[in-house]
Amino acid sequence: MSIIYFLIGCSVLLAVIFLAAFLWAQKSGQNDDLYTPSMRILLEDDVNEPINIISKDIETSAKK
Amino acid sequence: MQTASIEKTTCYHCGDDCLTPDFFVEEKQFCCFGCKSVFEVLSESKLCNYYSYNEHPGVNRAHNDKRFDYLKEPDIVNELIDYKDDNISIVTFYIPQIHCSSCLWLLEQLNKMNPAIHYGRVDFLKKQLNVRFNYHQLNLQQLVELLYNIGYEPVISLQDIIKKQNAPAKDNLVQKIAVAGFCFGNVMLLSFPEYFGISVYEQTFKHFFGWINILFALPVVFYSGWGYFTSAWQNLRIKVLNIDFPLALGIAVLFIRSVVEVAINNDPGFTDTLCGLVFFLLIGKFIQKKTYYHISFERDYRSFFPVAVNVITNDVEKPLPLSQLQTGQRIIIRHNEIIPADAILLKGNAMVDFSFVTGESIPVNKTWGEIIYAGGRQTGEAIELEVVKSVSQSYLTQLWNNEAFTRQKDGGGKTFNEKVSKYFSIVLLAIAFGSLLFWLPFNAGRGLAAFTAVLIVACPCALALSTPFTMAAALSVFDRNLFYLKNTRVVEHMAAINTIVMDKTGTITNGDNTNTELHGNFTAFQKQLIYSTCVNSIHPLSRMICDHLGEQKRLPVNSYIELAGRGIIASIGNHQLKIGNSSLVFGHDMESPHITAIYIEIDGSNPGYITIKHNYRNGMGNVAALNPVYDMYLLSGDQDHEKKDLLQFFKKPERLLFNQSPQGKLDFIQSLQEGGKKVMMIGDGLNDSGALKQSDLGIAVTDNVNNFSPGSDAIMDGRSFYKLPSFLRFSKDTVNIIHLSFAISLTYNLIGLSYAVSGRLSPLIAAILMPLSTVTIISFTTLATHFAAKKRNLL
């Protein structure tokens, strides 16, 4: 049953790594703004031509 | 085809109706030059995707002409920027216009518009833009002008509360919770074998688990829970027993006894209870902290006043930071600018809107040589003034020198928790020492065990959690109803209120507050006669009549007499006019209580009358129905023209106070408080600031929470004004819930104590009792608050 010592060591080590990762994320400000990235991801990357999301919406709603 | 016709009439940029077809570019219609120029700037930079993400993403900017010359001053620039080195500057702007994904997209494309900008990053909830730029190629003024040109004018104020408020909290609460949670989880895991029993062959594990648990408890006590020790100690030094004292005692006893148990008795100890306790307590602390990123409760006149003012020295105009403004200097104030200090008018035609200072919404005409008080907003042409008082000593701003603003506002309302915890601590210590003394003669070890067990079991975890959880739930209910409270204490203060004082303009009235109607048949000529008479008067009713009749040709008036409180007698050409109340026109009183009627007599005949109805905020009747339970007062800086209309709400004439100065308002609240009243003040302008601060609960009413509102305990959206009675009842429910949950946590304590005094507290019972009571309290408070809110129709 001495394997328990080793296993507990492993589990604690793993947990400490997660804790450290969280503390690092917190300290480097990754949790400061939890809302804006969710909007940013929906925006298109560089396209030179204006994309026409809204007019398409209007067309489809007009057809209906 | 319908969509096309709609698109033709609304502005492509802001969505307002287009009144003229003059502003037309690339088959797109705009409502004004401002909107059109924003579009042009964007299309030049190929940033028209802005219009793809949302329909009409822009904010109307028809009437704006701002000058940013003062941003050249190095003093001001240094105050505003966050960081500066040899090449780059980083600055954070507060931009209230940020409202949709298009805003976000455009502001993060700033680097495409000007290569000197490295990046722009938006924090959407805080409505902030963080810009990093090369200040050799682009100075701050140009950056702000660029933002202004694309329709996002930052709010620049030296008293940047928003930024300060959003600075990350220094107490590292989240980190502490993370550490406590980590230790709690691991300790629980390692304690399970103990709960289920360890066989005789595996006793070495028991020792191992015990020590490893102690190891985990170390950071919990000395990092996560350390705040309780310092707080308890600080309070003891000022001879206050607050709730942190029994908590700190509990944590200390738990830790010491666990070490002793593990080291000497080879027993498991109470580390699981200890870690759970600290973890839950910190969670309670965390949820109690509600932050509204975009709302500030601490604003004073400095966030309303401009950063700088243009001073004329030797015929040269130069911007000067407001703090350096001295008496005797000549300043120039343009259209829509605010006069920052009491000053004498030297040049120009001053039409000053004092709505922020006095509550009076109609601009006042000031003539040469008159003193104009600070806080007025000039409308019309540019004027020149000489400063007679420094900014902080002016009529309005000296209000902030009052002691009401320097004193910490905590009197008038110890929370229930604070009141109880004092007695709780005393009783707890009495029981602990009692059981120690009881056992000591027979069995010293058992006495000590009983003593520590009492302190462990009676540790007021549930008590400490009941207030934060109830209040956090209550706050989110208020929040849903567009009523934003500064902190959780405000709820308890609200429950104790018995007197309500209201401001008039902007608080119970909003914007366009009158409804003028003509009754009878008036010919066009008669209208012209009425207009020509009323236009001479500055009485608000005359102005409303003129507004209603619209611009007419003025006829020359031969004679004109204005009788105060009655009306006007005038002759125009060979026509005789009487315009006024019934006693003037008919010679007897026939007033109706709910409506203001103006009777008209032209050449002895009565063509009809004009009624003016004041529109008060939706639900003013509801609020007035609070009257027998709460004493209601009206405190207005305005003239008493509406006295009759307001009487229906406030019942007694002596409860209506008009012509109040900002200082007078503060003094009135103070006099009520000296009479033992708990006063709630509801106001909106800078002139109410003193009263809001002095009152036990100051509520600022605003139609847009991002706009300026004076410092207060709570900010209410005008649309929720009618819910005020529900809010008051709900706050009382909330306090009742806290009392009930206190009773529940006491019951748990009593159960635990019955084990503890006998000195036979097993770690298992402690480990079950503590989370059980916590979970009960959390679920009870959350559910009860939810039901109370349902009952008051707030959900």
Distance CA(B679)–CA(B493), nearest Å, equals: 10
Which residue would you say has higher pLDDT here, B411 or B612?
A: B612
Pick from A5, A54, A61 the residue to mutate for testing the B interface (most B CBs within 10 Å): A54
Q: Would you tell me how many other CB atoms lie within 10 Å of the CB of residue B36?
A: 20
Which residue would you say has higher pLDDT here, B638 or B474?
A: B474
Examine the pLDDT at B1 and tell me if it is beyond 50. Answer: no
Considering B42-56, B289-303, B381-395, B537-551, the range whose residues carry the highest mean pLDDT is B381-395
Pairing state between β B656-657 and B631-635: parallel
Which residue would you say has higher pLDDT here, B71 or B407?
A: B71
Among left, alpha and beta (phi > 0; psi -120 to 50; other), residue B402 is beta
Which residue would you say has higher pLDDT here, B66 or B769?
A: B769
**Beta-carbon contacts of residue B318 (< 8 Å; ≥ 6 apart):** B310, B311, B312
Which fold would CATH assign to domain B511-616? Calcium-transporting ATPase, cytoplasmic domain N (3.40.1110)
**Beta-carbon contacts of residue B472 (< 8 Å; ≥ 6 apart):** B287, B288, B290, B488
Pairing state between β B499-502 and B631-635: parallel
Contact flag B101-A8 (C-beta cutoff 8 Å): no
Examine the pLDDT at B636 and tell me if it is beyond 90. Answer: no
CATH-assigned architecture of domain B69-165: 2-Layer Sandwich (3.30)
Distance CA(B192)–CA(B186), nearest Å, equals: 10
Residue spans per domain, chain B: 2-53, 69-165, 168-289, 304-401, 483-510+618-729, 511-616
Å from A23 to nearest chain B CA? Answer: 6
Examine the pLDDT at B583 and tell me if it is beyond 90. Answer: no
pLDDT tens digit string along B214-259? 999 999 999 999 999 999 999 899 888 888 898 999 999 999 999 9
Considering A43-52, B362-371, B592-601, B673-682, the range whose residues carry the highest mean pLDDT is B673-682
pLDDT tens digit string along B758-792? 777 777 788 788 888 888 998 999 999 999 999 99
Contact flag A47-B53 (C-beta cutoff 8 Å): no
Nearest neighbour of B104 by CB, restricted to A4, A36, A53:
A36
Contact flag A50-B202 (C-beta cutoff 8 Å): no
pLDDT tens digit string along B559-571? 888 777 778 888 8
SS3 B269: coil
Chain B CB within 8 Å of residue A63 CB: no
Pick from A6, A19, A30 the residue to mutate for testing the B interface (most B CBs within 10 Å): A19
Q: Taking residues A31-44, what's their average pLDDT?
A: 83
Of A12-16, B112-116, B180-184, B697-701, the range with the lowest mean pLDDT is B112-116
Q: Taking residues B622-646, what's their average pLDDT?
A: 83
pLDDT tens digit string along B519-529? 888 888 888 88
Nearest neighbour of A39 by CB, restricted to B101, B126, B185:
B101
Contact flag A26-B52 (C-beta cutoff 8 Å): no
- Long-range Cβ contact pairs of B539-546 (< 8 A, separation 24 or more): B539/B641, B540/B362, B540/B639, B540/B641, B541/B596, B541/B598, B541/B612, B541/B641, B542/B568, B543/B362, B544/B514, B544/B516, B544/B612, B545/B516, B545/B598, B545/B610, B545/B612
Nearest neighbour of A53 by CB, restricted to B52, B189, B208:
B52
Residue B362, pLDDT score: 67
Q: Taking residues A30-56, what's their average pLDDT?
A: 70
CA distance to B29, B105, B112, B150, per residue, from B44 (Å): 17, 16, 11, 11
Examine the pLDDT at B555 and tell me if it is beyond 50. Answer: yes
Contact flag A33-B174 (C-beta cutoff 8 Å): no
Report how many Cβ contacts below 8 Å link chain A to chain B.
Answer: 70
Chain B CB within 8 Å of residue A36 CB: yes
Å from A36 to nearest chain B CA? Answer: 5
Residue A57, pLDDT score: 47
Residue of A nearest to B179 (CA): A19
Residue of A nearest to B201 (CA): A1
Residue of A nearest to B42 (CA): A50
Residue B80, pLDDT score: 81
- Identify the band that residue B358 occupies on the pLDDT scale cut at 50, 70 and 90: low
* Token pair 């019972």: residue: B765
Alpha helices, DSSP H, located in B617-762: 620-624, 643-650, 662-674, 689-694, 724-756
Chain B CB within 8 Å of residue A64 CB: no
**Beta-carbon contacts of residue B315 (< 8 Å; ≥ 6 apart):** none
Contacts of B125 in chain A (CB under 8 A): 33, 35-36
Distance CA(B783)–CA(B416), nearest Å, equals: 20
Q: What is the CA radius of gyration of chain B?
A: 33
Contacts of A53 in chain B (CB under 8 A): 52-53
Examine the pLDDT at B158 and tell me if it is beyond 70. Answer: no
Considering B211-225, B344-358, B753-767, the range whose residues carry the highest mean pLDDT is B211-225
Examine the pLDDT at B69 and tell me if it is beyond 70. Answer: yes
Contact flag A39-B54 (C-beta cutoff 8 Å): no
Examine the pLDDT at B707 and tell me if it is beyond 80. Answer: no
Residue B237, pLDDT score: 92
Question: Is the ipTM beyond the 0.90 threshold?
Answer: no
Q: Which residues of B53-64 are buried (b: 16+ CB within 10 A; e: fewer)?
A: bbbbbbbbbeee
Contact flag A15-B182 (C-beta cutoff 8 Å): yes
Residue of A nearest to B101 (CA): A39
Nearest neighbour of B186 by CB, restricted to A5, A12, A22:
A12
Contacts of B55 in chain A (CB under 8 A): 54
Q: Which helix (H) or strand (E) holds B493?
A: helix B489-495
Residue spans per domain, chain A: 1-31
Considering B489-493, B579-583, B643-647, the range whose residues carry the highest mean pLDDT is B489-493
pLDDT tens digit string along B266-306? 788 889 999 999 999 999 888 887 667 667 777 777 777 77
Chain A CB within 8 Å of residue B82 CB: no
Nearest neighbour of B178 by CB, restricted to A8, A22, A52:
A22
Q: Taking residues B117-123, what's their average pLDDT?
A: 89
Pairing state between β B679-683 and B697-702: parallel
What is the CATH number that goes with domain B483-510+618-729? 3.40.50.1000
Residue of A nearest to B57 (CA): A54
Examine the pLDDT at B161 and tell me if it is beyond 50. Answer: no
Nearest CA-CA partner of A27 in B731, B170, B544: B170
Residue of B nearest to A27 (CA): B175
Å from B89 to nearest chain A CA? Answer: 20
Class of domain B304-401: mainly beta
Examine the pLDDT at B202 and tell me if it is beyond 60. Answer: yes
Residue of B nearest to A59 (CA): B3
Residue of A nearest to B189 (CA): A8
Examine the pLDDT at B2 and tell me if it is beyond 70. Answer: no
Examine the pLDDT at B513 and tell me if it is beyond 80. Answer: no
Residue B172, pLDDT score: 85
Contact flag A43-B3 (C-beta cutoff 8 Å): no
Chain A CB within 8 Å of residue B25 CB: no
Å from A19 to nearest chain B CA? Answer: 7
Distance CA(B688)–CA(B379), nearest Å, equals: 23
Contact flag A51-B182 (C-beta cutoff 8 Å): no
Contact flag B182-A48 (C-beta cutoff 8 Å): no
